[in-house]
Amino acid sequence: MKKFIVFILIISIFLVLINNESKEDEGTKYLIGMSQANLSEPWRIMMNEDIKEAVKKYRDVKVIFTDAGQSSKKQINDVDKLLDYGIDILIISMNNSEDLTPIVENVYKKIPVIVLDRHVKGYDYTLFIGPDNKFIGEETGKFIVDILGDKGGDIVEIQGLLGSPPVSDRSKGMRSEIKKNKNINIIETVVADWQKDKAEDKMREIIKKHPSIDLVCAQSDAMAFGAYKGIEENKLGNIHFLGVDGLANYNGGLSLVEEGILKGTFTCPTGGKEAIEYAMEILQGKKTIPKKIILRANKIIRDNVGEYLNKKYKKEGNEVRASILLGFAQTGMESSWRDANVKSIEKAAVDYGIDLDMVYSDNSQEKQIRIVREFIRKKVDVIGLSPVVERGWEEVFKEAKEANIPIILCDRKVTIDDNNLWTSFIGSDFIEEGKRAGRWMIDYFGNSKDVINIVELKGTRGANPAIERKIGFEEVLRDTSNFKIIKSEYANFRMDMGKSVMKNILNQEKGKIDVVYAHNDDMALGAITAIEDYGLEPGKDIIVISIDGTVPALKALAAGKLNFAVECNPVLGPQIMEVTKDLFENKEVPKQIITEEEVFTQENAKKELLTKY
Ligand code: GYE
């Protein structure tokens, strides 16, 4: 195996030299820089291969690869070198998020940056593409509980390079699940830096101390394989080995599962293909570039590894259709945001040639469940759902799963035990939206030590955006002592309720209110009317902050009645149709697509109105 890694390294260095052509090559229109953390992990070698494969489609594009060899200092120099080459866009897979965040922020000021696999701190990048490591950890933990059963057992955890987000997120996720079975004990946790050989050496030592291990849980297939080799000589009994990555290459997770060496693994796509596809869209000026793409992790076991490789999208007993039928269960027409969202979905369906059956549920979950059941009966190809509330979806989602109909969650998430029951989420980061509202407010009041009294108008009880916008807003208030939420009432994202609820609060609180924080524009606009009816000036006597950034809100900003609006992008139609089409064509689709969003102030409202939707 060591010879194989050395061979790959020589090949990769040789390829880097070949690829180190500058933009002067005739016919090169775009130069992409790919800064790789290291080439000592099979997963990273595969990432570069995925990039090379994807870029073949574009004749006028060149990629320059650099290899930081697990050194942040070298990676910083690599990025500077790539900038000197005059690259048009940077793709970076960081050695260490902390070390590399400053340079990513700096490059982002000059050219677009796609961050691959490990998050930077903050939002100073164009697009993030990577796995949901916490989910992978949780799914691994559930798998361990399932394998060991009530009897439990002793397990060894093998971690990657300390300091990289996957290590802590996967470990936390796994531990959160195994703690549900008191008979499962982690008897050793070792660090093998994602290296097979290190895992082999560590395991050889561990097995001398603990001859009766039941399971080894490694954070990569390479380390799981190393652990297996480290124990193999002892020919010990029935030890289970679990890994992550699920690559299809030589000694990759898929073949290790097929050979029975691994009990299972979870796919962790490299994102290299997606990075090139989005890089080209960015360079060609395409509008709808999301902010985050969270790639899907599939559980691979002996029974499904073959199917996974040749996965076909089976539809029992369905007549073959000329076009795709998307059944969409909408919330209702509760807000102007929803109007813009519906228009975007309807237009995109036409643009993509997809038959759309959109049904409204008047914001009733009971009705929405009935609509989803009707789609299952009609055997639609894909179900789109904007869930009115987060909970209560298990049963009908299982029915859709049994009918082999994937569910795309649009603009709102659900809270259920098994997140494999839905296929993709397309929407916003609502916690960040709440934080942006809170940060602006704190900044607006500067160093004032006066107590600032806040009225919060909440969206529909139990709705994901209402829950998470509250979480985000309160999180930033936690570091202050003078901001107080004196009233927090539901107004269901509706203008009429925003007005009536605000009227009652004004009569109760009289002049004590400094700020209204509304979870959406419609409730804010209703409150603005109530404030005016009460004889006060919204935007001056009472500061008004909202989320959505719809046209009516921009007009209220321009008129000085609204002070700040956080954008919640309703234009989800193109991404919904793209995922629907890919699903129908048996392509892998991301687990989450998080939209790009900005903020609107009284200063930039007028300009935004000229370009809005
Ligand atoms: O903020 C609100 C709509 O789910 C993000 O629902 C959406 C929210 C949006 O009624 O206006």
In short, whether 429's Cβ falls inside 6 Å of ligand 1 is no
pLDDT for 42 equals 85
Helices 72-85 and 97-108: crossing angle in degrees, nearest 10, is 20
Q: Is the pLDDT of residue 16 over 70?
A: no
Q: Which of 92, 112, 131 is the last residue of a domain?
A: 131
In a domain, 156, yes or no: yes
Q: Is the pLDDT of residue 308 over 80?
A: no
Q: Are residues 444 and 388 in the same domain?
A: no
Question: Residue 26: which pLDDT band, with cuts at 50, 70 and 90?
Answer: low
In a domain, 443, yes or no: yes
pLDDT for 232 equals 76
Structural domain tally of the chain?
Answer: 4
Query: Which range is least confidently modeled, 124-128, 247-251, 311-315?
Result: 311-315
Q: Are residues 442 and 547 in the same domain?
A: yes
Q: Are residues 159 and 125 in the same domain?
A: no
Q: CA 355, CA 341: separation in Å to the nearest integer? A: 17
Q: Are residues 109 and 199 in the same domain?
A: no
In short, whether 567's Cβ falls inside 6 Å of ligand 1 is no
CB 436 within 8 A of CB 469: no
Q: Are residues 357 and 436 in the same domain?
A: no
Nearest to 565 by CA among 557, 573, 574: 557
pLDDT for 511 equals 78
CATH code (residue 230): 3.40.50.2300
In short, whether 469's Cβ falls inside 6 Å of ligand 1 is no
> Could you give the dihedral angle defined by the CA atoms of residues 318, 324, 329 and 331, in that order, rounded to the nearest 10 degrees?
180
Q: Are residues 156 and 121 in the same domain?
A: no
Cα 383–chain centre separation: 20
Q: Are residues 217 and 149 in the same domain?
A: yes
Backbone angles phi, psi at 157, to 5 degrees: -105, 130
DSSP track, 64-128: EEEE-TT-HHHHHHHHHHHHHHT-SEEEE--S-HHHHHHHHHHHHTTS-EEEESSPPSSS-SSEE
pLDDT for 307 equals 73
pLDDT for 410 equals 97
How far away, in angstroms, is 432 Cα from ligand 1 center? 15
Q: Which of 250, 267, 284 is the last residue of a domain?
A: 267
Q: What residues make up the domain containing 35? A: 27-131
In short, whether 517's Cβ falls inside 6 Å of ligand 1 is no
Torsional sign, CA 416, 218, 592, 601: positive
Mean pLDDT of 426-435: 97
Q: Are residues 400 and 464 in the same domain?
A: no
In a domain, 611, yes or no: no
In short, whether 390's Cβ falls inside 6 Å of ligand 1 is no
In a domain, 4, yes or no: no
Q: Whole-number mean pLDDT of the chain?
A: 91
In short, whether 266's Cβ falls inside 6 Å of ligand 1 is no
Question: Residue 11: which pLDDT band, with cuts at 50, 70 and 90?
Answer: low
How far away, in angstroms, is 383 Cα from ligand 1 center? 19
CB 66 within 8 A of CB 103: no
Q: Is the pLDDT of residue 460 over 90?
A: yes
521 CA: nearest ligand 1 atom: 11
Question: Residue 309: which pLDDT band, with cuts at 50, 70 and 90?
Answer: low
How does strand 483-490 pair with strand 515-518?
unpaired
428 CA: nearest ligand 1 atom: 5
CB 73 within 8 A of CB 95: no
In a domain, 602, yes or no: no
Q: How far is CA 466 from CA 239, 471, 474, in A?
A: 46, 9, 12
* First-to-final CA distance of the chain: 55
In short, whether 434's Cβ falls inside 6 Å of ligand 1 is no
pLDDT for 20 equals 44
Q: Are residues 554 and 443 in the same domain?
A: yes
Q: Which of 98, 131, 164 is the last residue of a domain?
A: 131
pLDDT for 429 equals 96
Cα 87–chain centre separation: 27
Q: CA 510, CA 494: separation in Å to the nearest integer? A: 23
| Residue 144: Cβ-neighbour burial (10 angstroms; 0-12, 13-18, 19+) | buried
Mean pLDDT of 80-84: 96
In a domain, 17, yes or no: no
Over the stretch 38-64, which tens digit does the pLDDT of each residue have? Answer: 998 888 999 999 999 999 999 899 999
CB 296 within 8 A of CB 590: yes
In a domain, 120, yes or no: yes
Pocket test for ligand 1, best of 334, 335, 551 (most atoms within 8 A of CB): 335
Over the stretch 150-172, which tens digit does the pLDDT of each residue have? Answer: 999 999 999 998 877 799 999 99
Q: Are residues 192 and 112 in the same domain?
A: no
The dihedral region occupied by 193, where left means phi > 0, alpha psi between -120 and 50, and beta the remainder, is: left
Q: What residue owns the CA closest to ligand 1's atom 5?
A: 411
Over the stretch 561-588, which tens digit does the pLDDT of each residue have? Answer: 999 999 999 999 999 999 999 998 888 8
Mean pLDDT of 251-273: 92
How far away, in angstroms, is 66 Cα from ligand 1 center? 43
336 CA: nearest ligand 1 atom: 11
Q: Are residues 513 and 585 in the same domain?
A: no
Q: Are residues 407 and 495 in the same domain?
A: no
How far away, in angstroms, is 338 Cα from ligand 1 center? 6
pLDDT for 233 equals 63
Token pair in block for residue 268:
């962790």
pLDDT for 7 equals 63
Q: Is the pLDDT of residue 463 over 80?
A: yes
Query: Count of CB atoms within 10 A of residue 234's CB?
Result: 13
Question: Residue 510: which pLDDT band, with cuts at 50, 70 and 90?
Answer: confident
Q: CA 537, CA 149: separation in Å to the nearest integer? A: 64
In short, whether 520's Cβ falls inside 6 Å of ligand 1 is yes
Strand pairing partners for 593? Answer: 293, 426
Mean pLDDT of 237-256: 87
In short, whether 425's Cβ falls inside 6 Å of ligand 1 is no
DSSP track, 132-157: -HHHHHHHHHHHHHHHHTTT-EEEEE
In a domain, 605, yes or no: no
Over the stretch 215-225, which tens digit does the pLDDT of each residue have? Answer: 999 999 999 99
How does strand 452-458 pair with strand 515-518?
parallel
